[in-house]
Structure 1
C-alpha cells in the first residue's frame, strides 16, 4: 500500500472514530432529556468558531501523528491499533451504566460505592465517582469501560494524544546512548489499563517497562491487555504515586498520562517530587494532561464547566496551576511545553 493511500486510510479511520464519539454524545444527550424531561437544563450550544478551531487542532494532531510514524518514532501499524473486540463487547455496558451516572450527577452523590468495593487504604481524594461512574476507578467494570469512555470523550483522539509523548521520550533517552536498549528502564505513573505502556513498547521494543497504579482492577486489566503483545511483560505494581516504591535515580525516563488533573494541588507536587527522585540524572520526565486556560482561551466556558459536568473535582484548579513552577521547585530544568489538540505536554529534564 502506498504512503498516500495509507495516510488516507489512517485519516478515514480516525474520522470514523470521531463521528462515532459525536453520535454517541448526541444520542445519549437526547435519551437523557427524554428520561429526565422535567429536569432539563438549558445547555448553551458551542460557538461555531470554537468547533472550527477544535477541528483544525484535531487535524493538526493527526498530521503530527502521521509524521512521527513516517520518521520511525513508532511503526505505522500502531496508527490503526484499536481494541475493537473490547469496544463492541463493552459498549452496551456504557449505555446500561448511563442512567445510574445521570442520577448520581443529578443528586451530587460523589462518593458512592457498592459494598463489594473496598475503599480502605486509599487517599481521600481518590475515593470519588470520577466521571460520575459507578464505583469510581475501583471496579472491574470501570476498568473495562475506561478506554472506550475516553475514546468517546475525545472523539477517537486519545491514542494520538498519548503518542505525543513518544518522540520526546526517545529524544530524551539519546543521552543514554552508551546504555544497552535492554537496560533502559521507563516508568509510567498511573498506568491505568496499560494503553500508554503498549505504545511505549511499540516505540521501545527492547526497553524494560514498569507501571504503577492505585487501582487493583485497572492493574488486572493492564496485565490482561499487555500480556497479549509481544516482548517482555511490563512490571506492574499497585502503588500511590506520592510514594513510588523504587530506588533513587532508577529510571532513565518517567511518564504520566492524564493523571495530574485528577490530583489536588499538594498531591501534584508530591508526585512530581517522587518522579524527580526516581529519575536518573540526565533523565526525562514527561507529563501529558489536559490543556489549561492559557492554552485555549476560546474554550474557557467549556473548561469552566467541565469539572461539574464530568465530576473532576480538581480539574478547575489544574487549569490554572503553574506546573512549570512545580517542576522547577522539584529540581527539573529545561522544561519544554507542547500542546496538541486537547492535551498539554511538559517535558522536563533532571540535571545530569
Structure 2
C-alpha cells in the first residue's frame, strides 16, 4: 500500500488521476491479468516524476511474485549447456528501467509484463500485424527471438507460424521461468525459452530462418550491441530474414538528443544507441537489402521496424 508520504508527494501532480489508485495484490495465479489502475498510474508517474516513482516502485516490487530457481540457472539453460552462462558486465552494473537489480531481480517479471500495453511494438495486435506484413509469405522452420523478455513477441511468432519451432532467449533467468509459466497457460507447444547470452549463443552457424529482437539493443553499450548483430548474422541461414523493432532513430540530431534527454534516467545506454545508428550498423554487419518500414500508421513515436537479408552465399 502507498504510505502517507507517497500520497502527499503525488497530490500536486498533473496529468495523473486525482484519486490515486491503490496497489492490488498480484500472485502467480493472477500475474497474467491486464494492467491494474495502480500499475498504469506508476508508469505515468515514472515519465513525469521518476524520483518519486522509484520510491513507490521499490516498495511495490517487493510485493510481487518471485521467479526463483536454481542458483546457477541450470533449470533454464539449453540441454547440455553448462550453467551458469556468461553475463555481460553492463547488465549487472547499470540496471535499466529503474528496476532494483535490473532484469535479474526475481520479482521483475510482472513489471516487464505490464509494459506490453504501453509501447507500440509491445502490443500483440501491432506485433501480429507487422510481423505478418513482412514474414507472412514465408514458411520458416526455426525462428529465434533475442531478448524475449516476457515472451510476447515469441508467442506471436508461434501463433503466426504454428509449424515452426520458435525459440525465445534472454539473459534473465526469472524472465525465462515466467515465459515458461505463460507458455503452459497459452498452450504454445512449439515455443521454447532458454537463458542465453545473445552475444555468444550455443547454436551452430546457419541455424535459423528468421532472427528477431524487440526493443533490445538500446539497453546496452555499442560494443555489446554490435556483438549481438554479428551473432544474429552467424545464426541466420543464407537468404534468411533479420527483423527488429527498436527505439526510434530520429531523423535529426536535435530530435535524437531530445529523446535521450527525456529518457536518460531510465535508459542509461540510449545515447550510445543513438550513436550506433542501427540501420547503418546492420549494414556494417553484412546484412543486405536493409529496409525501414513505413505506412500510413507508422512510424510510431517510440519504435521503428527494420528488416534485412543475409546474402545467399551461392549468389
| TM-score normalised to structure 1 length | 0.63
Could you list the per-position Cα deviations for residues 106-146 of structure 1 after superposition, in whole angstroms to 9, with x for gaps in the alignment?
9xx9xxx9xx9979952121113311122310123211221
The separation in 2 between residues aligned to 1:324 and 1:86, in whole angstroms, is 35
Find the counterpart in structure 2 of residue 126 from structure 1: 91
The separation in 2 between residues aligned to 1:332 and 1:161, in whole angstroms, is 25
Contact 1:206–1:231 (CA under 8 A) maintained in structure 2: no
Contact 1:90–1:145 (CA under 8 A) maintained in structure 2: no
The separation in 1 between residues aligned to 2:168 and 2:121, in whole angstroms, is 24
Alignment CA distance shift 1:165-1:32 (3 Å): farther
What SS is found at the alignment partner of 2:110? helix
Is 1:35 aligned to residue 9 of structure 2? yes
Find the counterpart in structure 2 of residue 159 from structure 1: 124
The separation in 2 between residues aligned to 1:35 and 1:330, in whole angstroms, is 48
Provide the alpha-carbon RMSD of the alignment. 3.9
What SS is found at the alignment partner of 1:131? coil
Contact 2:243–2:307 (CA under 8 A) maintained in structure 1: yes
Is 1:217 aligned to residue 174 of structure 2? yes
Q: Report deviation, 1:91.
A: 6.3
What SS is found at the alignment partner of 1:243? coil
Is 1:285 aligned to residue 242 of structure 2? yes
The separation in 2 between residues aligned to 1:200 and 1:273, in whole angstroms, is 22
What SS is found at the alignment partner of 2:159? helix
Could you list the per-position Cα deviations for residues 288-318 of structure 1 after superposition, in whole angstroms to 9, with x for gaps in the alignment?
111112179668534422122x2x1111221
Find the counterpart in structure 1 of residue 304 from structure 2: 344
Which structure is richer in relative contact order (CA contacts within 8 A, separation 6 or more)? 1
Find the counterpart in structure 1 of residue 147 from structure 2: 190
Is 1:86 aligned to residue 32 of structure 2? yes
Could you list the per-position Cα deviations for residues 257-276 of structure 1 after superposition, in whole angstroms to 9, with x for gaps in the alignment?
11011021011110000000
Contact 1:94–1:145 (CA under 8 A) maintained in structure 2: no
Could you list the per-position Cα deviations for residues 202-247 of structure 1 after superposition, in whole angstroms to 9, with x for gaps in the alignment?
2111111111110000000111112222442322221111002111
What SS is found at the alignment partner of 2:182? helix
Query: Out of 134, 141, 145, which is 1:168 matched to?
Result: 134
Alignment CA distance shift 1:303-1:233 (3 Å): same
| TM-score normalised to structure 2 length | 0.70
Which runs of 5 or more residues in structure 1 are unaligned? Answer: 1-27, 46-82, 174-180
**Greater helix content:** 1
Which runs of 5 or more residues in structure 2 are unaligned? Answer: 16-28, 63-67, 73-83
